[in-house]
Structure 1
């Protein structure tokens, strides 16, 4: 009898232990029979979750994955290209069916994409592209077109011959390169670019860099920031200086839209990150189901002013 009791206790402990071992790919699934419907496991390496734009993008992906019964594991690279490479290697070792990558650095991420290729795991890039490796599809807004929208509107606000500045994003990222290219195309030969410096898509750096720009070039009349976080930091520096300078951002985050509504931020280019995240999952599931997908899936842009 004593042996039977011990055996029963051991069996209960084993069952409880098994129940507690929850797969990270079911984090978005309901704790019921629906879990059995998870058809694919998708890994998502995102550049940073310390930015409202990418938080919204990841939530869009996660919500759509849940609706489609797809397991998803989202990992935060914390704006560190080395950490992103390590995160992607972990996803490869976990045996995911597909990896979504929002690169920290479009060039540096190439080796990680190639590692996934070697493991037979398809890759889709999101918002920012990869410069090497085989990618099934790229999901993003047309950042060049967005930069043109910003440049044309800033030119309309400040007029030809005005002195303007640009706050650049993370060096090496395709988003920074493309937005800058579009902006410069729109204003080339029509304004004087007195300063163009990186603030790494960060609000705090945007504040500091803008303070330095104003000290060196007090006659600045307009600013294009390649994302809203930098625009909001720049706006803080400008308000502290007492100057009236037109600032345009990019992303249409909630904070930026509030400043546009208040008349403090001239405009922001809306990228619709939730739609980008949703489209990434739609494309991933379609590909895994054997469907043909487009090499580039664009998400609509608009200027909010």
Structure 2
């Protein structure tokens, strides 16, 4: 072919076209880091949650979307993971937020330590980071040189309140077991501590404590085994309602007389609270947590210094509250 008065060899021309096409494809499929971010317009806030198979996080997502719409001054991108232990899925979601050059990241971590490194990368990329629901590990944050504001409840206090209702219902000396959440999650440790404190104060005997990783099916198997190993058990302290549902199924299968205390106040647990099979659960207001997290992210984007801990409410819920 010709360019001006100079002839360009066909092979070189073909190579140039090939390189051009290759570069165009890279621009479309690459990590987006080289793409110029549009100036002006509404900031983007990424919300990364835990399992959307859990009704609690479905409520959180809906509340976040409603709050973002009501504010009208941001673009919300929300995502969840396949199950409660899908840490790699959360890391991938955080990385997408960085790649897409979001302005802020609001995250409910599946693991309080494992998520610190990807969040550190997000901060280095310029994103404001807000932690909700499950507090990141203080030692891991310190090691990474990070200070991340936390928006969430006092999980230990909430679990203690739920456990106190069970202690009153069962009386001193009753044997109970604890269903723990993910071992790496701070709220799992805090809720276990709250249950243990309630049991000690109420004279309950904790005969075993096992994790079911927040999952219903796993809780069914764990509780079925616990009831076989400890046939005298009269109560289950479940660290979330999803596990409580599995526990209730196992109790029914064994035809056992066992009461449950729980945490989260999802819609699916309320019939059992009304019937008395679950003596108490705890509302930690998932939608409000997400809204508060978004508000803190927007403050950070505008240059305001977020608070260290925005403590959100917890409320014990019993049959009397549900009518």
TM-score, reference length from structure 1: 0.84
Number of residue pairs matched by the alignment: 271
Distance in 1 (alpha carbons) for counterparts of 2:277 and 2:199: 22
User: Within the alignment, does 1:299 sit opposite 2:278 as a pair?
Assistant: no
User: Within the alignment, does 1:224 sit opposite 2:237 as a pair?
Assistant: yes
Please report how far the alpha carbon of residue 275 of structure 1 lies from its aligned counterpart in structure 2 after TM superposition. Answer: 1.2
Aligned-partner SS, 2:278: coil
Please report how far the alpha carbon of residue 290 of structure 1 lies from its aligned counterpart in structure 2 after TM superposition. Answer: 2.5
CA spacing shift, 1:38–1:228, aligned 2, 3 Å: farther
User: Within the alignment, does 1:60 sit opposite 2:63 as a pair?
Assistant: yes
Structural mapping, 1:1-305, within 5 Å? 39-69=42-72, 70-78=74-82, 79=84, 80-131=86-137, 132-133=140-141, 134-188=146-200, 190-305=203-318
Distance in 2 (alpha carbons) for counterparts of 1:292 and 1:118: 17
Please report how far the alpha carbon of residue 135 of structure 1 lies from its aligned counterpart in structure 2 after TM superposition. Answer: 4.2
Kept in 1, the 8 Å contact 2:128–2:300? The answer is no
Distance in 1 (alpha carbons) for counterparts of 2:76 and 2:189: 29
Please report how far the alpha carbon of residue 303 of structure 1 lies from its aligned counterpart in structure 2 after TM superposition. Answer: 1.0
Distance in 2 (alpha carbons) for counterparts of 1:152 and 1:249: 11
Which aligned runs of 4 or more in structure 1 are off by greater than 3 angstroms? none
Instruction: Show the counterpart of 1:3.
Output: none
Kept in 2, the 8 Å contact 1:124–1:135? The answer is no
Kept in 1, the 8 Å contact 2:177–2:208? The answer is yes
Is the deviation greater in 176-185 or in 129-138?
Answer: 129-138
Kept in 1, the 8 Å contact 2:165–2:279? The answer is no
Please report how far the alpha carbon of residue 163 of structure 1 lies from its aligned counterpart in structure 2 after TM superposition. Answer: 0.6
Structure index of larger Rg: 2
Please report how far the alpha carbon of residue 268 of structure 1 lies from its aligned counterpart in structure 2 after TM superposition. Answer: 0.6
Instruction: Show the counterpart of 1:11.
Output: none
Kept in 2, the 8 Å contact 1:127–1:276? The answer is yes
Gaps of 5+ in 1: 1-36
Aligned-partner SS, 1:47: strand
Please report how far the alpha carbon of residue 280 of structure 1 lies from its aligned counterpart in structure 2 after TM superposition. Answer: 1.2
Kept in 2, the 8 Å contact 1:287–1:293? The answer is yes
Please report how far the alpha carbon of residue 38 of structure 1 lies from its aligned counterpart in structure 2 after TM superposition. Answer: 5.4
Gaps of 5+ in 2: 1-39, 319-323
TM-score, reference length from structure 2: 0.80
Q: 1:24-75 CA distances to partner (integer Å, 9 max, x unpaired)? A: xxxxxxxxxxxxx952101111111110001111111111112212101112
Distance in 2 (alpha carbons) for counterparts of 1:95 and 1:157: 52
Distance in 2 (alpha carbons) for counterparts of 1:184 and 1:38: 50
RMSD over aligned CA atoms reads 1.8
